[in-house]
Amino acid sequence: MNITRRSFLAAGAAMPLLGLTRPSLADEGTLRQVATDRKLIYGTAVSTGTLAKDKPFAQLVIDQANMLVAEGETKRKAIEPKQGRLNFAPTERLLAFAEKNGQRMRGHTLLWHEANPDWLLAKLEEGRDDKLLTDYIEKTVGHFKGRMHSWDVINEVIHIDEGGEEDLRISSPWYKAFGSGYIETAFQVAHAADPDALLFYNEINLEADVWWAEQRRTSVLKLLEKLLKKGIPVHALGIQSHLKAYRLDYTDEVMSRFLDEVSDLGLKILITEFDIADVEGPADPAQRDADIAALGRRYLDVAFSKPAVLGCLTWGISDRYSWLSSYDSYKWSDGSLSRGLPFDGDLRPKKLYFEMLNSYRSAS
């Protein structure tokens, strides 16, 4: 779907029924065009299931995104449900879709404390077996060598409440089996398997202006510094950016400083899982859309003012398929859809979409 004046007007015509105001028509274009023109990434998380069964949605993804990432199909639970029997088929299907449509793809995620198959958790509990870590990374990154733009090598490794060394998530099955060394090994093995892939440390809850997020940012910086000093091939930080419009404060200064600190280390930055939870907001969806759009604009304006920032991926593109609507802490109890993504449940662009376009247009 191209957001032409006519299709947008058609979409907008239905909006007053829902009490929604129509965003300005001044900013037309697609995120894909606007981002690509500026050599920036705009991408989205998707799953092959929804792309296959929902053609209008698939067309939206083709029109809007220049990069894709699997929301679940490249996690270990999906790739290695049975030990040693690696199933790359779902990721291959997505990669075929992306390649056909001229889109790049990123791999998410090689290591995480979640989304692991039960057999692996049992083996990790038995103790240290380096092959459980290295074989998978070698084979998976090796299989997709040259075809992935980047890999999230590690994901969500900081947890300040657990009292561990360097604020590491010591409850992680990886930490329990290997200690903190698993992080270094993972990057080294991934780099050897595909020297051209950009290797990411991807982290959650780094964005808010609250004390605990500040402590997390500090711990992330220390970890990155340590890895770089040791010559570990970490190339970029993924800042997930699951924002919460009515629960947490965001200040431009805090985010700006953090982005500078990361880029001063010589690293690239990507907003990897952008969306904005609207729970606890006003009942009027138009008001929530306006608040979300304003916050999204501010947030991305700061990000895109930094040369180290490569772009942004949203965690889904339409409210039709958003984890926010099913996750206990973020869903509405009356079953209405969360409105945290650029397109609504009917695939109509919301104010956030137009403000994202504006942010991309303002990129330095």
Q: Which residues bind ligand 9MR (CB under 6 A)?
A: 71-72, 75, 114-115, 155, 204, 240, 273, 323
| Residue 209 CA, distance from chain mean position | 20
Tell me how far, at minimum, the Cβ of 324 lies from ligand 9MR, in Å. Answer: 9
Whether the CB-CB separation of 360 and 38 falls below 8 Å is answered with yes
Nearer to ligand 9MR, 119 or 327 (CB): 327
Q: How far is the CB of 277 from ligand 9MR (least distance, A)?
A: 11
CB of 155 to ligand 9MR, least distance (A): 6
Q: Nearest distance from residue 89's CB to ligand 9MR, in Å?
A: 18
Residue 174 CA to residue 124 CA, distance in Å, equals 7
Q: For residues 356 and 38, is the Cβ–Cβ distance under 8 A?
A: no
- If you search the block for the tokens 């808010």, which residue do you land on? 208
Distance, CA of 350 to CA of 170 (rounded, Å): 41
Nearer to ligand 9MR, 67 or 290 (CB): 67
- Shortest gap between Cβ of 272 and ligand 9MR (angstroms)? 8
Q: Smallest gap, in angstroms, from Cβ of residue 149 to ligand 9MR?
A: 17
Q: Whose Cβ is closer to ligand 9MR: residue 200's or residue 323's?
A: 323
Question: Which residue, 71 or 354, is less far from ligand 9MR as judged by CB?
Answer: 71
182/323 with CB nearer ligand 9MR: 323
Which one, 42 or 323, has the nearer CB to ligand 9MR? 323
Residue 71 or 289 having the CB closest to ligand 9MR: 71
For ligand 9MR, the closer CB: 204 or 265? 204
Give 104 or 242: the residue with its C-beta nearer to ligand 9MR: 242
Q: How far is CA 307 from the centre of its chain?
A: 19
State the SS3 of the chain.
CCCCHHHHHHHHHCHHHHCCCCCCCCCCCCHHHHHHHCCCEEEEEECHHHHHHCHHHHHHHHHHCCEEEECCCCCHHHHCCECCECCCHHHHHHHHHHHHCCCEEEEEEEECCCCCCHHHHHHHHHCCCHHHHHHHHHHHHHHCCCCCCEEEEEECCECHHHCCHHHECCCCHHHHHHCCHHHHHHHHHHHHHCCCCEEEEEECCCCCCCHHHHHHHHHHHHHHHHHHHCCCCCCEEEECCEEECCCCCCCHHHHHHHHHHHHHCCCEEEEEEEEEECCCCCCCHHHHHHHHHHHHHHHHHHHHCCCCEEEEEECCCEHHHCHHHCCCCCCCCCCCCCCCCCECCCCCECHHHHHHHHHHHCCC
Q: Name the closest residue to ligand 9MR (Cβ).
A: 323
Shortest reach from residue 304's CB to ligand 9MR, in Å: 22
Nearest distance from C-beta of residue 300 to ligand 9MR, angstroms: 19
Least CB distance to ligand 9MR at residue 328 (A): 11
